[in-house]
Amino acid sequence: MSIRGKAHIAGAYEHPDRKIPDKSVPQVHAEVALGALADAGLTMGDVDAYFCSGDAPGFGPLSMADYLGLNRLRYMDSTETGGSSYLVHVGHAAAAIAEGKCRVALITLAGLPRSQRPQRASAAQLAPEAAFEQPFGPTTVSMYALAARRHMHEYGTTSAQLAAIKVAASQHAQYNPNAMLPNPVTVDEVLDSPMISDPLHRLDCCVISDGGGALVVVAPEVARDLTRQTVKVLGHGESPKLAANGHIDLTYTGAVWSGPRAFEEAGVTQADIDYASIYDSFTITVLQTIEDLGFCEKGKGGAFVADGSLLAPYGRLPFNTDGGGLCNNHPVNRGGMTKVIEAVRQLRGEANAPVQVPDCEIALAHGNGGSLGTRSGAATLVLGREDA
Amino acid sequence: MTTEATSRPALPAPAPAVNPETKEYWDATAQGRLLLKRCLDCGSVIWYPRAFCPDCASLRTEWFEASGRGRIYSYTVNHRGEGAYREAAPFVLAYVELDEGPRIMTNIAEADEADLAVGLPVEVVFHDTGEGTALPRFRPAATRDGPAS
């Protein structure tokens, strides 16, 4: 069975704040839920499916469903693949809707990493691999630095090429009034920023922000009755990429599997993609992902990004027009939700005007959660304008 | 395999959580020996150590002693340590590809940053955690050919 065209994203909402010292995490979940439902023209009473991930406080989907008063649920999913969870949720929601299990699915993300002390990752410490990794002091940045170093070794990728990704994101962010880092930067400014974990500089890293976002995915018959323009879910693919019994390869991501699945289901190719939201926890994440999705030959991502391909609106692959995680927002260290939201904006023609891709008909959103340095979960969505 | 006793580390050496499945591995580290698991059915070397073969789904595994030699697969000089490593930066996090095959997460010790390279031959050293275990880390090998990929 294919989900192509059998579900629509009817509502999308990004929390406008980047620092929220005076609210609780459930409260922000509630705010983004209401925002996305209002965007769709629906209410909490219409929701019959709820999706959340590890950022949702409490017991799986139950605590937040209770908080939100979602007492008509007949479908729940709390798949946790880190930052890509919300793209997985869209795919799962579309499949459930296509099967007739539910009609209106709400997906929420929220958290306050800038305003609250980070919570100890107890689940991660209980993992079977923990004793063989954690004692050596891996940090998030250093894990991606290991991937960057190996990619450089095998393909000759340079720090200046990685910096070009940040430069493009910053060019886009200048038009986003909510962006945390709205000022354009140069390659030299990236290279001159402090080295965090060699070869990744501070400006190779995404921001840390409070906030969140939500999506509403609905059945076609629900979409027909809404006044707001919706976006079709055309294809979805997901895959873990594992450490593989000691044979980890740091040069590629799970996009090598999730991408082809999404393209096939959608019935499109890379050439059909007008706009792409690419997960950008770090510049190296973007580089490896665009190679793995087939937008350029493996190992040639450096040359691809260095010649302006990512710049909206006229580059070969306009990307992350909100400024992405590198410049705009990376709520709760999970960038997948905002990737979908910006793709919806592009397909509705509602991106910030200077970076709106003309006649944007087909968009791709990709998330990568976990760590490129160990285990990660990839998810790819192909989305289409309502008339696509 | 280095034969010297475990030594005091320059890096922090936080103790790992040990369970019945991994106790033999960690007990051996305190004696300066690096053990690996091998599958008795398909022969795969298993990493990280577990009583299950992820290649053929066998529960029949055995420990064997590794050479303690390998090459750097990738590395980073981390300038921002966290937790026990907050005061330790800069320090080197790496994957070392053991001669037996597995790529394992570790630190590179006793090396100048300028001498580090992908492909550099390294050998294991053990850093005592003070809790009956030691962390297997690696230093540039004393005698071996130069870097290769």
Q: For the stretch B113-142, what's the b/e string if a residue is b when 16 or more beta carbons lie within 10 angstroms of its beta carbon?
A: eeebebebbbbbbbbbbeeebbbbbbebbe
- Do the beta carbons of residue B147 and residue B118 sit within 8 Å? yes
State the DSSP string of A175-203: T-TT-SS-S---HHHHHHSPEEETTEEGG
What is the ipTM for the molecules in this complex?
Answer: 0.90
Longest CA–CA separation in chain B, Å: 45
Element (H, E) at A163: helix A159-173
Q: Please list the residue range(s) of chain A that carry CATH number 3.40.47.10.
A: 8-115+210-228, 138-206+235-385
Any chain B CB within 8 A of the CB of A156? Answer: no
Nearest CA in chain A to B88: A137
Average pLDDT over residues B10-21: 92
Measured CA to CA, the distance from residue A321 to residue A175 in angstroms comes to 9
Lookup: tokens for B23: 């106790």
Give the pLDDT band of residue A119 (cuts 50, 70, 90): low
Average pLDDT over residues A254-267: 98
Nearest to A219 by CA among A358, A105, A374: A105
Instruction: Find the CB nearest B47 among A131, A145, A246.
Output: A246
Residues in chain B with CB shorter than 8 Å from the CB of A130 are 16-17
**Inter-chain residue contact B93 with A128, CB threshold 8 Å:** no
Q: For the stretch A293-306, what's the b/e string if a residue is b when 16 or more beta carbons lie within 10 angstroms of its beta carbon?
A: bbbbeeeebbbbbb
- Do the beta carbons of residue A262 and residue A276 sit within 8 Å? no
Give the pLDDT band of residue B43 (cuts 50, 70, 90): very high
List, in sequence order, the alpha helices (H) in A211-335: 220-224, 255-266, 283-292, 301-306, 324-327
Residues in chain A with CB shorter than 8 Å from the CB of B84 are 137
Any chain B CB within 8 A of the CB of A147? Answer: yes
pLDDT digits (tens, 9 = 90+) for A172-189: 999 999 999 999 999 999
Any chain B CB within 8 A of the CB of A372? Answer: no
**Inter-chain residue contact A142 with B93, CB threshold 8 Å:** yes
**Inter-chain residue contact A250 with B102, CB threshold 8 Å:** no
Single-letter code of the amino acid located at A190: V
Residue-level pLDDT at B39 = 96
CA–CA min distance A18, chain B (Å): 24
CA–CA min distance B143, chain A (Å): 24
- Do the beta carbons of residue B51 and residue B69 sit within 8 Å? no
- Res A325 pLDDT > 80: yes
Peptide bond into B90 cis (omega under 30): yes
Instruction: Find the CB nearest B76 among A145, A245, A247.
Output: A145
Give the pLDDT band of residue A127 (cuts 50, 70, 90): confident
Lookup: tokens for B19: 């369970």
Measured CA to CA, the distance from residue A323 to residue A328 in angstroms comes to 5
Measured CA to CA, the distance from residue B91 to residue A313 in angstroms comes to 42
- Res B42 pLDDT > 60: yes
Number of CB atoms found within 10 A of residue A76's CB: 17
Residues in chain A with CB shorter than 8 Å from the CB of B88 are 137
Lookup: tokens for A79: 């798949």
Lookup: tokens for A204: 């190779």
pLDDT digits (tens, 9 = 90+) for A18-67: 999 988 899 999 999 999 999 999 999 999 999 999 999 988 999 999 99
Average pLDDT over residues A222-234: 97
Single-letter code of the amino acid located at A303: A
**pLDDT > 70 fraction of chain B, expressed in percent and rounded:** 89
Average pLDDT over residues A312-332: 97
pTM (two decimals): 0.93
**pLDDT > 90 fraction of chain A, expressed in percent and rounded:** 94
Instruction: Find the CB nearest B48 among A125, A132, A142.
Output: A132
Residue-level pLDDT at A116 = 83
Average pLDDT over residues B99-121: 96
Residues whose CB is less than 8 angstroms from the CB of residue B56 and which lie 6 or more positions away in sequence, other chains included: B39, B41, B42, B44
Instruction: Find the CB nearest B80 among A130, A153, A197.
Output: A197
Number of CB atoms found within 10 A of residue B147's CB: 14
Measured CA to CA, the distance from residue B122 to residue B71 in angstroms comes to 5
Nearest to A206 by CA among A316, A330, A377: A330
**Inter-chain residue contact A250 with B129, CB threshold 8 Å:** no
Q: What is the DSSP letter of A258?
A: H
Domain A138-206+235-385, CATH homologous superfamily name and number? Thiolase/Chalcone synthase (3.40.47.10)
- How would you classify the pairing of strands A49-51 and A75-77? parallel
Burial of B20 (0-12, 13-18, 19+ CB in 10 A): exposed
Give the pLDDT band of residue B5 (cuts 50, 70, 90): very low
In what side-by-side order are the strands of the sheet with A362-370?
A75-77, A49-51, A104-111, A211-218, A8-14, A231-241, A376-385, A362-370, A275-278
Residues in chain B with CB shorter than 8 Å from the CB of A198 are 76-79
**Inter-chain residue contact A146 with B102, CB threshold 8 Å:** no
Domain A8-115+210-228, CATH homologous superfamily name and number? Thiolase/Chalcone synthase (3.40.47.10)
Burial of A194 (0-12, 13-18, 19+ CB in 10 A): exposed
Q: For chain A, give the mean pLDDT.
A: 96
Residues whose CB is less than 8 angstroms from the CB of residue A37 and which lie 6 or more positions away in sequence, other chains included: A11, A43, A44, A46, A47, A106, A214, A216
Number of CB atoms found within 10 A of residue A358's CB: 8
- The count of CB pairs under 8 A between chains A and B is 122
Backbone angles phi, psi at A97, to 5 degrees: -65, -40
- Res B3 pLDDT > 80: no
Nearest to A352 by CA among A379, A312, A385, A387: A312
Average pLDDT over residues A340-359: 98
Collapsing DSSP to helix, strand or coil, A275 comes out as strand
Average pLDDT over residues B111-127: 96
pLDDT digits (tens, 9 = 90+) for A56-111: 998 899 999 999 999 999 999 999 999 999 999 999 999 999 999 999 999 999 99
Q: For the stretch A51-67, what's the b/e string if a residue is b when 16 or more beta carbons lie within 10 angstroms of its beta carbon?
A: bbbbbbbeeebbebbeb
Give the pLDDT band of residue A350 (cuts 50, 70, 90): very high
pLDDT digits (tens, 9 = 90+) for A131-172: 999 999 999 999 999 999 999 999 999 999 999 999 999 999
Residue-level pLDDT at A126 = 72
